[in-house]
Structure 1
Amino acid sequence: MGLLPLNYRRPSYVAGSPRTMSDDQISVGSGGSGGSGSANGSNPPKPTKLATVVAGIPDALGFDRIIDGGTCPPCTTRDFMNYLIYVERSAENLQFFMWYRDYVKRFNEAKTSDIALAPEWTQAMEDDAVTRIQREQADKIRKETKTPAIAIFNGTDFEKRREVPKAPGSDTNPFSSPPQTPNDRDGSSDYVSTGEQSYRAQANEAFAAAGVKAPFTIQPFRKEMDRVIATYITDGAPRQLNLSDREQKVVLHALAYTTHPSALREVNKLAESTLRRQAHPNFIRWSICNGNTARVIFARVLGGSLIVVSTAIALALTLSSLGRGYRAVAAIGWVLGIATLIAAWKGMCVVLHGMHHHHVRPWELFVSEEDADDLGKRSFDSFGSANSYEEEPWVVRYHKRNLIRKIFDREVWIQEPALRQIQDTIFLQSMLCALLIAGLLTAIFVASPKGNFF
């Protein structure tokens, strides 16, 4: 693969929430896939593809290509998941996104008669639910302004206890023992029945808090949907998605009506928007860095030191009685120092780049390949525990690792050609800038008159 254009810039860090970002804030480049599928009739919706491609990310490292498994380490789907768990701490978006894609596929392939019991949640129903929730919130505010004694509890746990009615018990529901749902019969779902009653109770509490009745369990995939609510939707869920109070109530209204994938359409759009507009460009920017923090800081210090030493040598030669030509020797140090400093400022170590290596990630240093595979499988479990790693053994061990060992940590080869192409381009940019600046400095010192001090 050749180099990218010399005016290439790596993706900018995205710190704002996609909720508040306009399309103008997303630099659209080539290689994006646009269009979004919509459900017609009883057919479930296809996962949408937002037409946003951030500048600085080549087609080979696009979001869809990573998700579809078309990239090599260190830019695979597993690497993306690890980044979201250990760096950005927002893996629930990708876990929900991948579960939803699989759920749409399974729902569409189900050939059982009870699929008709799960009608589509239309946009008109969505708008009606939003209007109803807004009206209820407005009425609530008016009542609270008339009763200041109650209003003092707004936003506290007392308010939540007062508003949330007791969840209806499943024993009073004559349909609490439904026939097997399609996912149970086909065996295509990774849903586990352990704790089924607990998930049902949590889902019922969520429905009650949203002001809707608990649905009949006769609908297909209802048990799995209860687990989705308990894992991603309810307050305090182990993988709670970043939903506003209104968005949470709307999706619970939808799920109380149907288990059709369209009920989660808006939630999936939000998760996908966050992944595409924030997590993905930040992941590529992070992957470009081939060294850990200690190595990058070391490279910056080394580059700055070379520049200072070379400048001191040039000053000494200028103040001496030696010929002007000797002063050009300092250009070697300037080129090396400036190139090292610029590359390190972009997160790259030129020594590691020369071998196309990158440091092994801290969470991979102290585990065997089998254990790493097991951890990877668990991170892709749609209904696993909370995405917390603070108790993992590597955290303490890496913290105790001395600075020298961190600087010279274990290295592995970068397999992804597109990532090597980006790093080659950044290295060339650093060298060209170094040559230009070093040439100007050399010309200034060579043109200066002799000092003849010694």
Structure 2
Amino acid sequence: MVYSLMYRRPTPFSSPNEVSSLEKVNSINDSITTRETSLGETGLGGTGLGLSHGIPDALSFERITNGGTCPPCTVRDFEHYLKYVEFNAENLQFFLWYRDYCRRFNELPDYQQALAPEWVKDVKSEAEHKFGGKIKSPEINAVFKGTDFDALKAKQSENPNPFSTPPQTPAHSTRGEGCFESYMSMTSGGKTDHTRRASMAFKDAGLQWKPMSVQPYREEITRIISIYIADDGPRQLNISDKERTQLLHTLQNTTHPSAFAEIAKTVEWTLRYQAHPNFIRWTICNGNRPRVIFAIGLGIAGIVSGIATVVLITLSKSHRAWRVISILGFFIGISTLIAAMKGMCVVLHGMHHRHLHPWELFGSDGDEPVSFDLTKDTELRETVTATAAAAAAAADSEGPVIEEKSNSWEDEPWVAKYQKRNIIRKIFDREVWIQEPALRQIQDTIFLQAVLGALITSVVVVGVFCAFPNGRYF
């Protein structure tokens, strides 16, 4: 089954200069509503037959990030594309973490959620909300008893806005080093580096490092600040200084997911309207660049052979009917060229195969090929979304293990190994079967468009040559 012959691939994304937060939220909501309405009206139940801007429902952003697709359209493939092609994998990594964090936070008991109430922008109402009517249960009061927070609450009548003039002592100084050292005493090993980077991020933003350590997932939030928010973070998000400062100010006071709401909107909007369409357009290509260039060359050669054949027959004394034989060269050449211009090799398509990408050719040791078993895809996705360790750490409410290594890949072993391959080997590189049905349907549609376009063009060109009289030169 194929899509409409008028099908067009997703167009390359061109970002507007500036998009407001409200426009981003409305765009995201419209995208989700459109998908749901499309499935409801057509009754397709997610079979992928509906289309939106060249992307079938089966390859929607939700389906990919929820693990409902097959290779080469899995969330792992999406992350590899962002890492090796667009160079911004941190957006997807942060988005998957944030979605998982919201789920885990909402599953906490009410008394733990009350320790980190939802963030509101108005400072006065927020302070009243945080320290006034929100924390009243005996369990929570027992947790705060004897802490600095308990003393701060007792002095609330003297200082209604505790955020305006933080209590200081000479030993602590204006940098809040006392709270920093107190928090450092609870960390060791890798935690020290996370805390150092988080502290420096607050200092650079002109803020004091005074997190409330009794709040749930405070240690995990420190790691997130260190990895994604700090200026020297290994996976620093592309956000403005204003957004970073506002976020750090919020994270000083709460670990509620609402603290990341504005950043999450920006990240999700970028993924939905830039990275996702570009990923689908890129995935449609079934051949690597050397193979596509080779296919373009074959297409041009086929067209040239067709022209040479029909010209020679026209100039000869042969009957006009012999000129029709040139249609074979035109048809093969034009269809191959049209498909190649869209990144497809018709030979690979005939087997529903695709070339392995350079980073897929080698395993971690540089010799073993990467497995494409769906089970391994699931395991790798769990690693990306940081859920593999969530179950083991649920008892003590610790966050999952979050990878902090950089997304830089220039030093990975496959880079040098792939560069050493000669051009012939790259053209005829290893292939693998395309498992995703929706992607095969898109490629079938493009192939059919190429065949019909080549057939019509070939008939017209040969018909024009058939109208010429014989040259009778030989």
Normalising by the residue count of structure 1, what TM-score does the alignment of the two structures yield?
0.78
345-354 or 250-259, which moves further after superposition?
250-259
Question: What SS does structure 1 have at the residue aligned with 2:471?
Answer: coil
Compute the RMSD of aligned alpha carbons.
3.0
Q: Residue 11 of structure 1 aligns with which residue? A: 10
| Residue of structure 2 in register with 1:85 after alignment | 83
Mapping for residues 60-99 of structure 1, pairs under 5 Å: 60-99=58-97
Are 1:449 and 2:449 counterparts? no
Q: Single out whichever of 438-447 and 22-31 deviates more from structure 2.
A: 22-31
In the TM superposition, what is the alpha-carbon distance from 1:303 to its structure 2 partner? 0.1
Which amino acid is 2:68 matched to?
G
Structure 1 residues 369 and 62: CA distance shift in structure 2, 3 A: same
Is contact 2:434-2:440 (8 Å) kept? yes
Q: 1:201 to 1:437 in 2, by over 3 A?
A: same
1:246 is the counterpart of 2:242 = yes
Question: 2: distance between equivalents of 1:330 and 1:166?
Answer: 85
Match of 1:354 among 330, 350, 356: 350
- Structure-2 change in CA distance of 1:438 and 1:202 (3 Å): same
SS of the equivalent of 2:354 reads strand
Question: Does residue 204 of structure 1 match 2:199?
Answer: yes
Q: Which residue of 2 aligns with 1:389?
A: 409
Q: How does 1:333-412 map to 2 (within 5 A)?
A: 333-367=329-363, 368=368, 382-412=402-432
Q: Residue 31 and residue 358 in structure 1: after superposition, are their counterparts in 2 closer, same or farther (change >3 A)?
A: farther
Distance in 2, matches of 1:18 and 1:277, equals 14
5+ unaligned residues in a row in structure 1: which ranges?
35-52, 129-164, 179-191
**Contact kept in structure 1, 2:91 and 2:267, CA below 8 Å:** yes
* Partner residue of 1:106 out of 96, 104, 107: 104
Cα pair 1:28 1:55 within 8 Å, conserved: no
d(CA) in 2 for partners of 1:281, 1:79: 14
1:375 positional shift: 7.5
Whether contact under 8 Å (1:358, 1:411) holds in the other structure is yes
Q: CA deviation at 1:117?
A: 2.1
Q: Give the count of matched residue pairs.
A: 386
Which one of 23, 28, 35 corresponds to residue 32 of structure 1? 35
Q: 2-side partners of 1:389 and 1:377: how far apart?
A: 21
Amino acid at match of 1:305: A
1:167, 1:208 within 8 Å by CA — same for their partners in 2?
yes
1:213 alignment counterpart: 208
Which residue number corresponds to residue 189 of structure 1? none
Secondary structure of 1:32's aligned partner: helix
Q: Tell whether the 8 Å contact from 2:361 to 2:369 is kept in structure 1 after alignment.
A: no
Per the alignment, residue 319 of structure 1 pairs with 315
> Mean Cα displacement is larger for which, 22-31 or 63-72?
22-31
Higher mean C-alpha deviation, range 411-420 or range 193-202: 193-202
Counterpart in the other structure of 2:435: 415
Shift of residue 371, structure 1, vs aligned partner: 8.2
2:223 alignment partner AA = R
Q: Please, what TM-score do these two structures have when normalized by structure 2? A: 0.75
| CA pair 88-249 structure 1, distance change in 2 beyond 3 A | same
Aligned position for 1:188 = none
Q: Secondary structure at the match of 2:432?
A: strand
Q: 1:193 to 1:275 in 2, by over 3 A?
A: farther
What is the Cα deviation at residue 113 of structure 1? 3.2
- Identity of paired residues, percent? 50
Residue 127 to residue 287, structure 1, CA distance change in 2 (3 Å): farther
Amino acid at match of 2:267: A
1:123: how far off?
Answer: 4.7
> Is the Cα–Cα contact under 8 Å of residues 31 and 59 in structure 1 kept in the other structure?
no
Within a 5 Å distance, the mapping from 1:162-311 to structure 2 comes to: 167-170=175-178, 194-215=189-210, 216-311=212-307
Query: Within 2, Cα distance between the matches of 1:293 and 1:377?
Result: 31
Distance 1:82 1:19, change over 3 A: farther
Q: Deviations over 1:135-185 (max 9, x none)?
A: xxxxxxxxxxxxxxxxxxxxxxxxxxxxxx98532467667767xxxxxxx
Q: How far apart, in 2, do the equivalents of 1:66 and 1:248 lie?
A: 29
Q: What is the aligned partner in structure 2 of residue 43 from structure 1?
A: none
Note the alpha carbon deviations across 1:311-368, whole angstroms, 9 max, x for none. Answer: 0111111111111111111111101100000000000000000000001111111223
Instruction: Specify whether residues 172 and 78 from structure 1 end up closer, same or farther in structure 2 by C-alpha distance, changes over 3 A only.
Output: closer
Q: Give the structure 2 partner of residue 50 of structure 1.
A: none
**AA paired with 2:11?**
S
Question: How far does residue 243 in structure 1 lie from its aligned partner after superposition?
Answer: 0.2
Question: For the residues of structure 2 that align with 1:430 and 1:371, how far apart are their CA atoms?
Answer: 33
Please say if residues 360 and 409 of structure 1, whose CA atoms lie closer than 8 Å, have aligned partners that are also in contact. Answer: yes
Moved more, 25-34 or 100-109: 25-34
Residue identity opposite 1:358 in structure 2: R
Change (3 A) 1:107 1:236: same
Shift of 1:197: 2.6
Bigger mean CA deviation after superposition, 207-216 or 345-354: 207-216
Decide whether aligned partners of structure 1 residues 170 and 323 sit closer, same or farther in structure 2, where only a CA change above 3 A counts: farther
Deviation of 1:446 (Å):
0.3
2:327 is aligned to 331
Shift of 1:115: 3.0
**1:248-280: per-residue Cα shift (whole Å, max 9, x none)?**
111111111211110001111111111111111
